[in-house]
Amino acid sequence: MLQGISSEAFVLGCSAIGASISMLAGMGGALGQGYAAGKACEAVGRQPEAQGDITRTMVLGMAMTETNAIYGLVVAIILLFVRPLLAGL
Amino acid sequence: MEIAIIFKGKEIIISETVISLLIIAIFLIIFALIVNFKVKKAKTGEAPTGLVNIIELCVEMVDGMVRDNIGEKHMSMSPFILTLITVIGVSNISGLFGLTPPTGDYGITLTIALIVFFVNQISHVMSVGGIFKYLKSFTKPNVIMTPINIISEIANPISMSFRLFGNILSGMLITGLLYGALGYFAPLVTPLHLYFDIFVGLLQAYIFTMLAMMFIGSSVSE
């Protein structure tokens, strides 16, 4: 069944599939950031004078939780461009 | 474009991002000399105008942030924090001026994060007073917490460097791919530079500096 595929092509194909599965880590990041934005909107509605402070805090918190989604991106980029699995062939 | 120096038969390669970091450093040094010249010429009896006004605004802002996060006793950290935010901010924006952003290279962001890590640990040693007390502070709540404390100290520079590297590299990749994919309609994509280069670049520089200040503040205030 796998007769026509060279082993290098197989490893590259599996790297591509692995890279796209690793990008699913963005889902959790987006959910968390949307929740934080919702809470910030509620807080602004409750006290509109503090809008500047609330916006700054929300942006800071969002950039912290974005890190986990970025880890997934870095793994995908390493799999696609550095191709470390070819070295083990 | 890389520079390759051939030295006694072996080749030393200086990569693109290191060259743009050197260009940014030379530009910032010339800018600092110009500001120095203008500040010396300014009259202290009147309100500042022009370039001196903007620079005083920035220095006062950073002084306020250092006072809030680190404390009044350690205001000598303020030039270091101002250098950090200026270098990282200008490096992130430098994609707009034709250079390859140096922070798009993991080696450079890891170096900056390790610099902050060493400043952190050494100011901790100096504020606790001696290396043995510093080693004892890892067993602070309980001896069982020692591996957790060590891991949380080591995870800080790794996560800071990855955050900066991932944000800048993803901006570079997405704009590069869009320019390549659209062909003749490429100028339609140019407004994206407003988000990816300017907003993300300045925000990530600010967040890196805020995190560095919070870590230094928590390690000198014990």
Instruction: Assess if residue B28 is contained within a domain.
Output: no
pLDDT at B51 over 70: yes
pTM of the model: 0.86
Cβ-Cβ contacts under 8 Å, A67 against chain B: 159, 162-163, 166
Amino acid at B43: K
Is residue A20, in this structure, part of any structural domain at all?
yes
Examine residue B23 and state whether it is found in any structural domain, yes or no: no
Domain count, chain B: 1
How far apart (Å, rounded) are the C-alpha atoms in residues B78 and B75? 6
Question: Residue B138: inside a domain, yes or no?
Answer: yes
The pLDDT of residue B70 is 84
The three-class DSSP label of residue B11 is: strand
Q: Is B110 among the domain residues? A: yes
On chain B, the residues whose CB falls within 8 A of the CB of A70 are: 162-163, 166-167, 170
Best B170, B174, B200, B215 member to test A by mutation, with max A CBs in 10 Å, is B170
pLDDT tens digits along A28-75:
999 999 999 999 999 999 999 988 888 888 888 888 888 888 889 889
Predicted local confidence at residue B112, as pLDDT: 94
Q: Which chain A residue's Cα is nearest to B167?
A: A70
Q: Does B159 touch chain A (CB under 8 A)?
A: yes
- The span from the CA of B165 to the CA of B168, in Å, is 5
Q: What does the pLDDT look like over B155-165, one tens digit per residue?
A: 889 989 999 99
A66 in any annotated domain: yes
Residue B143 in this model has a pLDDT that exceeds 80: yes
Tens digit of pLDDT for each residue in B67-93? 888 888 888 889 999 999 999 999 999
Predicted confidence band of residue B175 (pLDDT cuts 50, 70, 90): confident
Q: What is the pLDDT of residue B140?
A: 79
For the cut 70, the answer to whether the pLDDT of residue B222 exceeds it is no
Asked if residue B171 belongs to a domain, the reply is yes
Establish if A2 belongs to a structural domain: no
Rounded-to-integer distance, Cα B161 and Cα B102, Å:
13
Local confidence band at B180 (pLDDT 50, 70, 90 cut-offs): confident
List CB contacts (< 8 A) between A73 and chain B.
166, 170
Tell me the angle at which helices B106-128 and B16-41 cross, rounded to the nearest 10 degrees: 60
Length of chain A: 89
Q: State residue A2's pLDDT score.
A: 63
Interface test with A, best of B105, B110, B158, B159 (most A CBs within 10 A): B159
- Here the ipTM equals 0.74
If one counts the domains in chain A, the total is 1
**CA B104 remoteness from chain centre:** 13
Looking at chain B, how many residues does it have?
222
Q: Which residues of B fall within a CB distance of 8 Å from A77?
A: 169, 173
Sign of CA dihedral B156, B159, B162, B167: negative
Whole-number Cα distances in Å, A9 to A17, A87, B42, B74: 12, 13, 68, 58
Stretch B85-102: mean pLDDT, rounded? 91
- Residue A22 and residue A40: Cα distance in Å, rounded? 29
User: Which pLDDT value is given to residue B165?
Assistant: 92
The domain that holds A83 is classified in CATH as 1.20.20.10
pLDDT at B191 over 70: yes
Cα B98-B104-B106 angle, rounded to 5 deg: 150
The residues, ordered by sequence, that sit 6+ positions from A58 with a Cβ below 8 Å of its Cβ are A36, A37, A40
A77 vs B: CB within 8 A? yes
CB contact under 8 A, A63 and B207: yes
pLDDT of residue A1: 61
Query: What pLDDT does residue B189 have?
Result: 83
How many C-beta neighbours within 10 Å does residue A43 have? 16
Tell me the average pLDDT across B11-32.
92
Tell me the three state secondary structure of residue B15: coil
Spell out which residues of chain A touch residue B203, defining contact as CB-CB under 8 Å. 59, 63
Q: Does residue A78 form part of some domain?
A: yes
Residue B111 lies in a domain: yes
- In a domain? residue B130: yes
Domain assignment of residue B180, given as a range: 43-220
* DSSP letter string, B101-169: PGGGSHHHHHHHHHHHHHHHHHHHHHHHTSHHHHHHGGGSS-GGGHHHHHHHHHHHHHHHHHHHHHHHH
- Please check whether residue B188 lies inside any domain of the structure: yes
- Domain presence at residue A15: yes
Contact B35, B55 (CB under 8 A): yes
- Position A22, amino acid: S
Tens-digit pLDDT profile for residues B24-34 = 999 999 999 99
A1 belongs to a structural domain? no
Which residue range is the domain that position A16 belongs to?
8-88
pLDDT, tens only, B123-136: 999 888 888 888 88
% of chain B surpassing 90 pLDDT: 37
